[in-house]
Chains A and B, each alone.
Chain A
């Protein structure tokens, strides 16, 4: 992950087609186009795992079906706890076969149709429910050396609780951190940077609809709040020069070309 930041490679979120898509071919084509664009830019494509609990196809199977190549270090797969053990292992084996090393391991959002991993599935005997911590332990125990795993950090949660969880996630094998969307200088992000030596990637919210973040940040953002994602991205680079950036909800048609010059070449002291 450190090399991603050193190379100033953006992490660009891409959602795979949904299971109930009425235009699957078009969605697959759209996915391929976005993916290839990210690859051509030398960035890292971050493929979500049933985001918001909506049933979608898995990133590795989509890459395989579309025969999209996986350049080393340019693909990150989200992996959450809503799988059967069989599908979890299938995803991990497929990732390994495709040379995908980076995983963002999260607890994730469930739904009626998504099975939840059970503690016994991941060899956990001391918990009632599987979280990202148990999943991390399982991945590193069953697939030693195969994956570099990152975890989520939410600066809007009570910090003492979030930092305590981060300690457990790191002990379970996490080697990088990706935050929830950051839209301004934030004291908990400052604290995170001050207390960990792990590479930190900030999620940059690329939608103009800032109010959609209300639930994530825990306070009401009015619907008409003006928001300039590109300007905010530049501000985040200036404020947090040592951090990587994870671009969520990036508009490929309207924004992609605009992000090219938003991250200038680093000075040596900026890299962590």
Chain B
């Protein structure tokens, strides 16, 4: 059995800046991290491998610039067996549809993939579209916002899918695509041994030709959507209050303030 985890390198949230010209997130010179939601996807894949016993391989794949190799090494340090980077100038400017096409082509190329797991969304774009997009390109069943995998076999999954009014319990036949939410597990912290092993891990770089991608379906030309305007959210009113005195006096002051603002 083979599980593929799709991951993304994103700017550290506090550093995200939009280029006013291109309307794209400025990534150069900004600290880059593994998309936090993807850590849950990696952890779930590693846990499913353990639940299924031997013969399960976990692969992490990512589309991005060469430096995105770092998040693939992180995935290996967290327990993935290996990583593959999809990197080429022609992939640049891909929207969520083109990105999910590229990832689906990579999944086809890997072959014998039974399950694809993504984080529910990337914290830079916040679209939550790539996971479902992969399922659409592959024409596989999908469950988004999965908070638990109740049953797993090499043939099927039973998962809990969150929605606004509660949750659904869904059965999916494999192959399938899942996007997972934060509460599904508690991701492990990489061990030193894992990090050192990951540094030695070979991360192959795949190009459009290597995954048989149609040039008309990738990059800006293959993207049916365009960001035409970007605006920052209105600034939040930040206010700080300092309470002084004994613990009782401070606690009383805080309580009064919270009540005054109808927060209690």
A interface vs B, CB < 8 Å? 19, 24, 55, 57-58, 61-62, 65, 84, 86-87, 112-115, 158, 161
Contacts and interface: CB of A to CB of B under 8 A. Distances in A.
B169 interface: no
Interface of B: 36, 39, 186-193, 195-196, 199, 246-247
B193 A87 contact: no
Given A19-B195, A87-B188, A114-B189, 7 more contacts: A19-B190, A57-B195, A58-B191, A65-B193, A65-B196, A113-B36, A115-B187
A237 B16 CA distance: 50
A196 B193 CA distance: 42
Contacts of A114: 189
B256 to A, nearest CB: 21
A87 B189 contact: yes
A114 B39 CA distance: 12
B189 A19 contact: yes
Which 7 residue pairs spanning A and B have beta carbons closest together?
A: A115-B186, A57-B192, A61-B192, A65-B192, A84-B186, A158-B247, A61-B191
18 contacts: A19-B190, A24-B195, A24-B199, A55-B189, A57-B191, A57-B192, A61-B192, A65-B192, A84-B186, A84-B188, A87-B189, A112-B36, A113-B39, A113-B187, A115-B186, A115-B187, A158-B246, A158-B247
A19 B193 CA distance: 12
A259 B36 CA distance: 44
Contacts of A62: 192
A113 B37 CA distance: 11
Contacts of A158: 246-247
Contacts, number: 35
A62 B192 CA distance: 7
A240 to B, nearest CB: 27
A24 B195 CA distance: 10
Contacts of A55: 189
A159 to B, nearest CB: 11
Contacts of A112: 36
A197 to B, nearest CB: 28
A218 to B, nearest CB: 11
Contacts of A19: 189-190, 195
Nearest to A66: B192
A62 B195 CA distance: 12
Contacts of B186: 84, 115
Contacts of A161: 247
Contacts of B36: 112-113
A55 B196 CA distance: 16
Nearest to B191: A61
Contacts of B191: 57-58, 61
A135 B36 CA distance: 28
Contacts of B196: 65
A86 B186 CA distance: 11
B196 to A, nearest CB: 7
A178 to B, nearest CB: 24
A115 B183 CA distance: 12
Contacts of A84: 186, 188
Contacts of A87: 188-189
A65 B199 CA distance: 15
Among A55, A113, A161, chain B packs the most CB atoms within 10 A around the CB of A113
A106 B157 CA distance: 41
B189 to A, nearest CB: 6
A148 B163 CA distance: 48
B243 to A, nearest CB: 13
Contact of A61 (B39, B193, B246, B247): B193
Contacts of B192: 57-58, 61-62, 65
A144 B188 CA distance: 27
A87 B186 CA distance: 11
A41 to B, nearest CB: 25
B88 to A, nearest CB: 26
Contacts of B189: 19, 55, 87, 113-115
Nearest to A60: B192
Contacts of B246: 158
B176 to A, nearest CB: 27
A110 to B, nearest CB: 12
Among B186, B191, B192, B247, chain A packs the most CB atoms within 10 A around the CB of B192
Nearest to A114: B189
Contacts of B39: 113
A65 B193 CA distance: 7
A58 B194 CA distance: 12
A150 to B, nearest CB: 24
A178 B188 CA distance: 29
A161 B247 CA distance: 10
